[in-house]
Homo-oligomer: A and B are copies of this chain.
């Protein structure tokens, strides 16, 4: 089993007083140290989120942060989870991605998405009903840009480029691996059919993850993609506890994280995590999605994932603690590696 990180830095924020303990709630400097520590501890990758206009200082310019990190690291892979394509000029994005890939020595993993936060669509003044079409147009552009030897033109619904060539070339040919976040059967089928690696979320319980992994593998086989030619990474919250008091505190943090994820996404059900009923609290305690518990309990959850075909887990630590990372590497990771 391989392990990476999922999350991001947080600046002090335009309104940091109301910043919740979301997964990317740590300052840039501290986050950079965290990534360096992860590389030293043998972690395989770091995937950085990108969000805009949150008011809580989430990373907005993920490709710039990763360009910086590419100079501070030498081995760890650097990924986005995700770049929301509808926000970006696809030609500039192709240039930025290729530059990062070149500077990092081919260590970039390109996670892409179509966006889901209504606040971001509103901010950019882009209709969310256009998300899928904008995503597909950008992907078509990127694939063409990186497969063309010479100049090409693009005339889509949202973008026009005439007689262009995208420079520099990425180091990974024809392009860095594409990753897609997916959950529904249809989106998993799309990811498999169109050559994406699969990012699975931190909210779904183990059984659901295992189902999705199976479905994606089957669909890859159907699409003629050889085992070993694709990857699946599963995001999981990391919350190691050493006592029942710490467990209670960890569950309270988990509730706030779920509330924040839901709240920022304007998804349904966010409110229930802010004022937990006894029933919701009990449900939360039984939820096996997070790596929440003692090292032994966490090893057990990871072994269940492993038995279900998961070999790559991205840790999301809501506190961004280097100590938790070191403890994970010392007490948990050794039980999972081949």
Contacts and interface: CB of A to CB of B under 8 A. Distances in A.
A125 interface: yes
A102 B52 contact: no
A168 B60 contact: yes
B87 A92 contact: yes
A95 B167 contact: no
A123 B71 contact: no
| Chain A: interface size category | 35 or more
A53 B122 contact: no
A57 B102 CA distance: 13
Contacts of A61: 92, 95-96, 98-100
A55 interface: yes
Contacts of A64: 63-64, 67, 96, 99-100, 103
Work out how many copies of this chain go into the complex: 2
State the main secondary structure of chain A at its contact with B.
mixed
Given A57-B167, A64-B99, A52 B91 contact: yes
Interface string A59-97: 111011101111110000000000000011101100110
B11 A123 contact: no
A294 to B, nearest CB: 36
Interface stretch (A157-165, A193-201, A202-210, A251-259): A157-165
A223 interface: no
27 contacts: A11-B168, A11-B169, A12-B169, A13-B167, A14-B149, A14-B150, A14-B169, A28-B102, A52-B91, A52-B164, A53-B151, A53-B163, A54-B165, A57-B167, A57-B168, A60-B92, A60-B167, A64-B64, A64-B67, A64-B100, A65-B103, A68-B68, A68-B70, A69-B71, A88-B92, A123-B161, A123-B162
Given A53-B164, A54-B165, A60-B168, 16 more contacts: A11-B167, A11-B168, A12-B169, A14-B167, A53-B151, A54-B167, A59-B99, A60-B167, A63-B64, A64-B64, A64-B96, A64-B100, A71-B71, A91-B123, A91-B124, A125-B161
Interface of A: 11-15, 28, 52-55, 57-61, 63-65, 67-72, 87-89, 91-92, 95-96, 98-100, 102-103, 122-125, 149-151, 160-169
